[in-house]
């Protein structure tokens, strides 16, 4: 796994403010605006957030909370586009996020998504499902560009915040819960993966309830029309970045309901590294220390995959080239007085629009291949994506 410094500097942006000095005030009267690329699919995108409680488990990482609480978001193809797009972060979470790097909304306008809240689901049948797990001490919104793109191409995507390990989670009552995880090392990462696997197995159960017509939301908030019966639970995939990639592998090992997985610069932790998997798996890594070249656990795991497998490397990338932080880092670098060397250590030298194009095209091609039996992008290198190195099958 990445070092503690790499994880927190990238996923949280918090260490950046602590090591780079005072942000410039040049944007005080004219906020710097950050935007995400538009989805490429034919459908508008809708989204709804749900507050879930697992009363069978206490909260991890803290001793005073008797119930496991989670916030999830469901992203889906919608029947019409947004009148007003949902913001990337809810207001309380956005304030917490910006305060962590000593910025505020007069200096930075964080992105809006391209999704409308609660609009009806567009479907001609049941839709394949993809689960998403973020990196350590990160947020479920940090891969919104990829999530929206999958939804616009006809997938139901479920993103999960792992409360008390996530960077910040805002609940419907306005509470913002921040990370309570101790210093990150291999045992902490292993514990976090075990907790996340339990989270996803619980979420899969609630999705099944939802598909049957139930409403698992704690507050029974209205659900989008067409969501009941929309989930094809025979076609469930999963992907994640960094520790979310390790979570993907371990969730597949623990639960046969997840049929195909993608890891974005993630490792393999626990029994799955030696046991491998019998379902399709795609590794997308970087040339740096998180990649196959430098991660023995990932190489061992890949060698024990017994179904369709492929390892790709995104050239000129770094750990946070995967996800929305590729865009945020580059936009905020000047405001945070971030040296070029530090910036390249986080997001590499790849052009941001190319990094986003790669990480949206290949997971979509993977799920299209295994859930819809179509497409040839994964057959081998293509001129449209010269950044992608095919490493191993």
**pLDDT tens profile 262-316:** 999 999 999 999 999 999 999 999 998 778 988 999 999 999 999 999 999 999 9
At 124 the pLDDT is 82
- Written as six digits, the tokens of 2 are 């990445």
The answer on pLDDT for 171 being more than 90 is yes
The answer on pLDDT for 15 being more than 80 is no
pLDDT band at 123 (very low <50, low <70, confident <90, very high): confident
At 20 the pLDDT is 46
Which residue, among 316, 244, 334, has the nearest Cα to 34 in the 3D structure?
A: 334
pTM comes to 0.93
The DSSP bridge pattern shows strands 281-285 and 127-133 to be unpaired
Over residues 237-265, the pLDDT tens digits come to: 999 999 999 999 999 999 999 999 999 99
Q: To the nearest whole number, what is the mean pLDDT of the chain?
A: 92
- In sequence order, what are the beta bridge partners of 241? 264
The DSSP bridge pattern shows strands 127-133 and 231-241 to be parallel
At 8 the pLDDT is 36
- Written as six digits, the tokens of 229 are 């019966």
CATH number for 4-392 (one of 1.10.10.10, 3.30.1330.10, 3.40.50.1820, 3.30.70.330): it is 3.40.50.1820
pLDDT band at 50 (very low <50, low <70, confident <90, very high): very high
The neighbour count for residue 84, using CB atoms within 10 Å, is: 8
Query: Distance between CA atoms of 34 and 164, rounded to whole angstroms?
Result: 27
Which residue, among 311, 293, 300, has the nearest Cα to 393 in the 3D structure?
A: 311
Instruction: Report whether 302 contacts 284 (CB < 8 A).
Output: no
At 182 the pLDDT is 79
Strands (E), 294-369: 309-314
Q: Is 63 exposed, middle or buried (0-12, 13-18, 19+ CB in 10 A)?
A: exposed
The answer on pLDDT for 392 being more than 90 is no
Q: Is 96 left (phi over 0), alpha (psi -120 to 50) or beta?
A: alpha
Query: Distance between CA atoms of 362 and 344, rounded to whole angstroms?
Result: 23
User: What DSSP string describes 133-175?
Assistant: E--TT--TTTTHHHHHHHHHTT-EEEEEE-TTTSSEEE-TTS-
Helix, strand, coil fractions of the chain, as percent rounded to 5? 35, 20, 45
Radius of gyration of the chain (CA): 19
Terminal-residue alpha carbon distance, the chain: 22
At 21 the pLDDT is 47
Which residue, among 72, 88, 95, 98, has the nearest Cα to 156 in the 3D structure?
A: 72
């Amino acid at each position: 796994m990445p070092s503690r410094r790499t994880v927190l500097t990238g996923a949280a942006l918090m260490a950046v403010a602590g090591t780079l000095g005072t942000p410039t005030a040049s944007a005080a009267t004219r906020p710097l605006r950050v935007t995400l690329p538009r989805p490429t699919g034919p459908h508008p995108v809708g989204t709804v957030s749900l507050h879930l409680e697992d009363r069978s488990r206490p909260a991890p990482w803290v001793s005073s909370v008797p119930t496991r609480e989670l916030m999830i978001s469901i992203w889906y193809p919608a029947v019409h586009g947004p009148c007003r797009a949902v913001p990337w972060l809810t207001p309380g979470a956005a304030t917490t996020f910006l305060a962590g790097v000593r910025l505020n909304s007069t200096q930075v306008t964080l992105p809006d998504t391209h999704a409308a809240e609660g609009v009806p689901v567009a479907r001609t049948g049941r839709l394949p499902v993809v689960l998403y797990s973020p990196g350590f001490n990160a947020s479920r919104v940090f891969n919104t560009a990829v999530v929206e793109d999958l939804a616009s191409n006809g997938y139901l995507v479920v993103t999960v915040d792992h409360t008390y390990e996530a960077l910040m989670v805002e609940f419907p009552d306005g509470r913002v819960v921040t990370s309570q995880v101790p210093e990150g090392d291999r045992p902490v990462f292993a514990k976090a993966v075990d907790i996340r696997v339990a989270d996803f197995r619980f979420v899969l159960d609630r999705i099944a309830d939802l598909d049957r017509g139930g409403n698992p939301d704690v507050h029974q908030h209205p659900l989008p029309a067409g969501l009941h019966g929309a989930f094809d639970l025979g076609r469930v995939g999963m992907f994640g970045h960094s520790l979310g990639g390790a979570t993907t592998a371990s969730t597949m090992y623990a639960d046969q309901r997840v049929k195909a997985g993608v890891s974005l610069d993630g490792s393999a932790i626990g029994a799955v590294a030696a046991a491998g998997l019998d379902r399709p798996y795609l590794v997308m890594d970087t040339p740096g220390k998180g990649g196959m070249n430098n991660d023995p656990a990932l190489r061992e795991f890949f060698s024990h995959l017994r179904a369709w497998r492929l390892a790709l490397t995104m050239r000129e990338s770094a750990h946070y080239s995967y996800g929305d932080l590729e865009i945020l880092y580059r936009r905020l670098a000047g405001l945070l007085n971030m040296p070029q060397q530090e910036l390249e250590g986080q997001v590499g030298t790849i052009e941001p629009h190319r990094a986003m194009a790669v990480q949206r095209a290949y997971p979509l091609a993977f799920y299209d291949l295994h859930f819809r039996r179509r497409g040839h992008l994964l057959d081998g290198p293509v001129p449209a994506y010269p950044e992608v190195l095919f490493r191993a099958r």
